[in-house]
Structure 1
Amino acid sequence: LKTGEQGGEEFPSFRSFWLERPQRGTNSIVIHALLDSPSCAAAIRFTIRPGDDTIMDMESALFPRVDLTEVGVGNGTSMFYFSANDRVGIDDYRRAVHDSDGLMMATGRGEQLWRPLNNPQKLQISAFADTSPRGFGLVQRHRDFNDYEDLEAHYERRPSLWVEPIGDWGEGQVQLIEIPTKDEVHDNIVAFWRPKQKLLAKSEVSYTCRLHWADLPPVTNTLARFTAFRVGAGTTQNARLFVLDLAGDALKVLTDDIRPRVDISTDKGKIENVVALAAAQVGGWRISFELLPGGTDIVELRLILMNGDTKLSETWLYRWTA
């Protein structure tokens, strides 16, 4: 409740738990919980099925004590300290330190979005409007030990969390909150669904979702995915060079005669020197471009690899901050 708001966040507490005794031979356990805070109470039922993809069905009934406009549903928290695209001020032997490297979204419009995470200099709040979302979550895509070189933390083993709404969640937005941190011990990333309609006092509001804890979300997708992302100095003063790698079967349609089109846009500044190259070394294609911020501190970027009018890739989103 009230996450990222100036008045401060409200943390509901679990007051009680009840466990149902599992039947012999069952592969699940049911837990009932009572959640309570000054602004709201909730009754929650978890049905948990462990496995390589551990699944938690969560049925919740919320009982607001006051009108609520700043509610987070399907919350996930994570840690992002640094990676190849964000090493400013970092003096560390490891290549990256994070529990998740991006926010992935499957929208109600059928679009798949990928938003790499940041450890910003100042608090950043991003909102992605949607209706009837199919899923969203904080994802750890890099799964190789060499991506991190950490023998203790083993960040390559950290699970992703995918929130799959059950039923129609209506209009709202996925919110991403990125909090500055100077250490890896703090969870500085938050993602959740914020409904457009406020929750009225003395009402009962129900939300049901399925939580997937796994290496990657169980999303069937034929589009190419972004596998790596780096930022460095550009060829002119104040320019920033972006380098993105993609992989996936959708790219197999490209040949020497069929070249992709890079659909890229920015809300501020200017984009120059856009290049797309086939790169067997990365198992797909590499896209590079330069951003000229033009004196602004925040720039929103959007990129899709296209074959004519056909999408070849998921939609890459990024907020660059000075």
Structure 2
Amino acid sequence: MTDFSRRDALALLAAFGLAGPFAKGARADDGLAFAAPRPFSFDTLIEGAKRRAGDVYKPPQSKGAQILAKIDYDQHNKIRYRLDRALKVNGGKSRVALFHPGALFPLPVGMHLVDGGSSRELTYRSDYFDMPDDSPAKQLPGDIGFAGFRVMGADTERDWLAFLGYAYFRSSGELDQFGQSARALAIDVAMPTPEEFPRFTDFYFAPSQDGDLTIYCSLDSPRVTGALRMDMIKNGTVVMDISARYFAREDIARFGIAPLTSMFWFSEANRERGADWRPEVHDTDGLSIWTGAGERLWRPLNNPDRVMTSSFADENPKGFGLMQRDRNFENYEDDGVFYEKRPSVWIEPKGQWGRGQVQLVEIPTDDEIHDNIVAYWLAEKPVKRGDAMALDYKLTWAKDEPHPASVGHVIATRIGRGGIPGQPRPPGVFKLVVDFAGGPISSLAKQGEPVEAVVTASSGVISNISCYANKAEDSWRALFDLTPANGDPCELRLFLKKDGVPLTETWLYQFLPPRRTG
């Protein structure tokens, strides 16, 4: 994972939600130029990916590279797609507006409309866009192509879906606020070798019988090719039914499936890691896992001092995702970017994914502009040259998990000085406080019945365990002290039970030693 590749990818993500509004036009909905129709089906797209996997990889070339380099962030923001030139899909139920190429996204991406068994590629024309007279884009060749796209409904200019850069995409979800991103694949994240970023090369927009839009995607990369079908349904939540077919050109050490990318700077648990006036700053606050055995896991996110990779072994997982559970504005106090509205994203495998692990990669950051969290599924069987992989899953952008647990869930994690109030505080001891709510524990909180907190640690000493009902919130609070054994991270595990029966999901936490200063 080279610094250049990571910065490049993050710059692309930053451009997602900050581009200017679309241009309004007075002309009729015409003037789009298309190439001649060609036969199309998902099967032919898959066959093309399979065929390319046997060919030597050819790096893509951008036309007019020197001119594109002049279209920086500010210049690009002045180039706006005309809404009267939007591609209409499903009889106009979905409208597609295009991004112009620029310095951050110079590589052309093909845009195609599907009609029956054929597709037509949209030809670039500068009059699809409104731009200043002195824009460098006016000097570009006529076949420069497009960089990506946004999707809007029939009666709104506000987009709910965007694809821009490499194989990244994201949706505003149920609360109409963009946040974390998804991508097709993550290759060699947090490895000694450079991270590889597959890219979508072509998009095919097709009508959807039961949804809002179907998008077919062609993918290419030095070590893998692919073809994907995404059926989109927007009904409050945004649900993507994804069928992906991949073909390996070469061996791949870490083949991340259904990856999610997010930002976590600090929360109530690690407030000292941020130097900011706001109480919390994050797109998501935890990783949720529903194991194949039915256990619910919750892992609060961290902002470590070095890149950390955590693995959660499983077989045929029922689902996982990066969640934004804290929905209280008062905990963020940011009326400009509204972190409390950022979408949670849930991955739900279809069929048997076998043995493997959910991997969580946490990268140090000192600002909110860097996406520093990655989560994905890594199969136990390594990917070898010539392998063909068929992966189907559902991806949901929502406020909450689409399949809520019947047990209680974590609502907050806090850390402070250990010991007993009013007595001398022992050095090097930390108190951890975890709040649970929902499920059967809510009624138990009202009744005041006893509940037991079960705590384990990979190292160090646990002491002063207690658990009590917080009747003001119908929740339960578990507290304990941790005396770390050394300067290494400590893996903690906690859940609540009564009469031997678990009442909550399992809280997993990687306790990091205090950041050294001076």
TM-score range, shorter-chain basis? over 0.9
**Equivalent position of 2:434 in the other structure:** 244
1:270 CA displacement? 0.6
Select 2:202's aligned residue among 16, 21, 28: 16
1:309 CA displacement? 1.2
In the aligned structure 1, how far is the partner of 2:501 from the partner of 2:273?
40
In the aligned structure 2, how far is the partner of 1:265 from the partner of 1:16?
50
**Equivalent position of 2:322 in the other structure:** 138
1:155 CA displacement? 0.2
Contact 1:244 1:287 in 2 (8 A): yes
In the aligned structure 2, how far is the partner of 1:254 from the partner of 1:151?
34
Counterpart residue type for residue 154 of structure 1: F
Q: How is 1:211-222 mapped onto 2 (pairs within 5 angstroms)?
A: 211-222=395-406
Select 2:463's aligned residue among 272, 294, 303: 272
**Equivalent position of 1:175 in the other structure:** 359
Q: How is 1:199-238 mapped onto 2 (pairs within 5 angstroms)?
A: 199-235=383-419, 236-238=426-428
**Equivalent position of 2:307 in the other structure:** 123
Q: How is 1:34-183 mapped onto 2 (pairs within 5 angstroms)?
A: 34-183=218-367
SS at match of 1:88: helix
Taking only aligned residues, the RMSD between alpha carbons, in angstroms, comes to 1.4
Structure possessing the higher relative contact order (Cα contacts under 8 Å, 6 or more residues apart): 1
Select 1:261's aligned residue among 452, 469, 478: 452
In the aligned structure 2, how far is the partner of 1:198 from the partner of 1:89?
36
SS at match of 1:94: coil
1:254 CA displacement? 6.0
SS at match of 2:472: helix
Contact 2:446 2:471 in 1 (8 A): no
1:122 CA displacement? 1.2
**Equivalent position of 1:308 in the other structure:** 499
**Equivalent position of 2:190 in the other structure:** 4
In the aligned structure 1, how far is the partner of 2:289 from the partner of 2:226?
26
Contact 2:465 2:478 in 1 (8 A): yes
Contact 1:245 1:282 in 2 (8 A): no
Counterpart residue type for residue 16 of structure 1: D
SS at match of 2:464: strand
In the aligned structure 2, how far is the partner of 1:141 from the partner of 1:89?
20
Counterpart residue type for residue 309 of structure 1: G
* Percent identity over paired residues: 39
Distance 1:294 1:203, change over 3 A: closer
Please list the CA deviations of residues 146-197 of structure 1 after superposition, one character each: whole Å capped at 9, or x if unmatched: 1100010100010000000000000000000000000101110000000000
1:258 CA displacement? 3.8
1:219 CA displacement? 1.1
Please list the CA deviations of residues 208-239 of structure 1 after superposition, one character each: whole Å capped at 9, or x if unmatched: 00000000111132101111111112121011
SS at match of 2:320: strand
- Larger Rg over CA atoms: 2
Distance 1:254 1:90, change over 3 A: closer
Q: Which runs of 5+ in 2 are unaligned?
A: 1-186, 420-425, 514-518
Larger helix proportion of the pair: 2
In the aligned structure 1, how far is the partner of 2:271 from the partner of 2:416?
10
1:93 CA displacement? 1.6
1:22 CA displacement? 4.5
In the aligned structure 2, how far is the partner of 1:198 from the partner of 1:300?
27
In the aligned structure 2, how far is the partner of 1:284 from the partner of 1:87?
23
Counterpart residue type for residue 14 of structure 1: F
In the aligned structure 2, how far is the partner of 1:101 from the partner of 1:87?
13
Contact 1:277 1:287 in 2 (8 A): yes
Aligned length: 320
Contact 2:218 2:226 in 1 (8 A): yes
SS at match of 2:330: helix
SS at match of 1:162: strand
1:190 aligns with 2:381: no
Contact 1:268 1:296 in 2 (8 A): no
Contact 1:301 1:320 in 2 (8 A): yes
Contact 1:84 1:230 in 2 (8 A): yes
**Equivalent position of 1:288 in the other structure:** 479
In the aligned structure 1, how far is the partner of 2:502 from the partner of 2:448?
18
**Equivalent position of 2:155 in the other structure:** none
In the aligned structure 2, how far is the partner of 1:155 from the partner of 1:44?
31
What's the TM-score once normalised by structure 2's chain length?
A: 0.60
Counterpart residue type for residue 307 of structure 1: K
SS at match of 2:255: coil
SS at match of 1:146: helix
1:52 CA displacement? 1.5
Of stretches 53-62 and 217-226 in structure 1, the one that deviates more from structure 2 is 217-226
SS at match of 1:281: coil
Larger strand proportion of the pair: 1
1:101 CA displacement? 0.3
In the aligned structure 2, how far is the partner of 1:33 from the partner of 1:255?
52
Distance 1:167 1:292, change over 3 A: same
